[in-house]
C-alpha cells in the first residue's frame, strides 16, 4: 500500500516538473503595411532652415515574440520614392551625388528589437544605403497592438526615431559642420501573417 508520504510526494513532484519546464512561444510574423508606413526625415538646408521629406514606397517584415521579449525588423525602401514636396529637390536627390538611385534603387534597414520590460523600446540595427552599411540605432517612442476594427485581424503600430550622418554613406556634398545630420522619424503599421485584402476585393457583387 502506498504510504502517505509517497501519495503526497508523487503529485508534488509532477507539479514541480511541469513548473520547471520553460514556456516556449513561437515568434509571430507581421507584414508591413505600405499604405500606413512612411519613413520620413529632416535635414538642415545651409543652416538657415530645415527641409523635410519622406519615402512613399516601403515593404518588409517584423518578427515579434512578446513572451520572450525578442524580435527583429527588416525594411526595404525604394530610394526613388523620395518626396520633398519640391520637384527640384526630388530631382537632385536621386542623382549620383546623393542617393544615386540608378545604381542603388533600394536601401534597407535590419536589426533586432530592444525591450523595456514587456514593451519594445528600440532597435539595434544597420542601414544599408548606396552600398554602404553602417549601424543606426532607433528609439521606439510608441508601440501598440490591437485587433483591427475593419479587417478583424491583429495589427501592430509604432513610431520610431533616430539619426545618422549622410556623409558616412558617401553623400559628402554640403555635409560639413553638421550639415550632413539627418533625423529619421518612422511611422509603421504591420499586420500579423499577411496583409489584408484590399477593400474592393472584399465587396460582394
Q: Rounded to the nearest 5 degrees, what angle is found at the Cα of 40, between the Cα atoms of 121 and 148?
A: 60
Tell me, yes or no, whether 13 lies in a domain. Answer: no
Would you list the DSSP string of 105-145?
-EEEEEEEEEEETTEEEEEEEEEEETTEEEEEEEEEEEEEE
Q: Which domain holds residue 72?
A: 25-195
Tell me, yes or no, whether 6 lies in a domain. Answer: no
Tell me, yes or no, whether 67 lies in a domain. Answer: yes
Tell me, yes or no, whether 108 lies in a domain. Answer: yes
CA dist 115 → 78, 111, 112, 141 (Å): 29, 13, 10, 12
Q: Are 6 and 149 in contact (CB under 8 A)?
A: no
Tell me, yes or no, whether 18 lies in a domain. Answer: no
Tell me, yes or no, whether 11 lies in a domain. Answer: no
Q: What is the DSSP letter of 94?
A: T
Q: Are 152 and 8 in contact (CB under 8 A)?
A: no
Instruction: List the CATH number of the domain containing 46.
Output: 2.40.128.110
Q: What is residue 197's predicted lDDT score, i.e. its pLDDT?
A: 87
Q: What is residue 74's predicted lDDT score, i.e. its pLDDT?
A: 96
Q: What is residue 11's predicted lDDT score, i.e. its pLDDT?
A: 46
Domain count, the chain: 1
Contacts of 197 (CB under 8 A, 6+ apart): none
Name the residue with cell 476585393: 201
Tell me, yes or no, whether 204 lies in a domain. Answer: no
Q: What is residue 200's predicted lDDT score, i.e. its pLDDT?
A: 66
C-alpha 111/C-alpha 160 separation (Å) is 13
- The rounded average pLDDT for each run of 10 residues, N- to C-terminus, in the chain (205 residues) is 46 41 70 95 90 95 95 96 94 94 97 96 97 97 95 96 96 89 95 87 51
Tell me, yes or no, whether 4 lies in a domain. Answer: no
Q: What is residue 201's predicted lDDT score, i.e. its pLDDT?
A: 53
Amino acid at each position: 500500500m502506498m504510504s502517505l508520504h509517497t501519495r503526497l510526494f508523487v503529485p508534488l513532484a509532477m507539479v514541480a516538473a511541469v513548473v520547471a519546464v520553460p514556456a516556449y512561444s513561437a515568434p509571430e510574423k507581421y507584414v508591413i503595411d505600405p499604405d500606413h508606413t512612411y519613413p520620413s526625415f529632416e535635414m538642415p538646408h545651409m543652416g538657415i532652415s530645415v527641409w523635410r521629406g519622406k519615402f512613399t514606397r516601403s515593404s518588409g517584415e517584423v518578427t515579434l515574440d512578446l513572451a520572450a521579449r525578442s524580435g527583429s525588423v527588416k525594411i526595404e525602401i525604394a530610394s526613388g520614392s523620395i518626396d520633398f514636396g519640391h520637384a527640384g529637390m526630388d530631382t537632385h536627390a536621386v542623382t549620383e551625388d546623393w542617393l544615386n538611385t540608378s545604381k542603388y534603387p533600394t536601401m534597407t534597414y535590419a536589426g533586432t528589437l530592444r525591450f523595456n520590460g514587456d514593451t519594445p523600446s528600440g532597435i539595434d540595427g544597420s542601414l544599408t544605403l548606396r552600398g554602404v552599411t553602417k549601424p543606426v540605432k532607433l528609439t521606439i517612442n510608441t508601440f501598440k497592438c490591437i485587433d483591427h476594427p475593419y479587417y478583424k485581424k491583429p495589427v501592430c503600430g509604432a513610431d520610431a526615431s533616430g539619426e545618422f550622418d549622410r556623409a558616412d554613406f558617401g553623400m559628402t556634398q554640403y555635409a560639413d559642420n553638421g550639415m550632413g545630420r539627418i533625423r529619421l522619424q518612422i511611422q509603421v503599421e504591420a499586420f500579423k501573417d499577411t496583409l489584408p485584402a484590399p477593400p474592393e476585393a472584399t465587396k460582394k457583387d
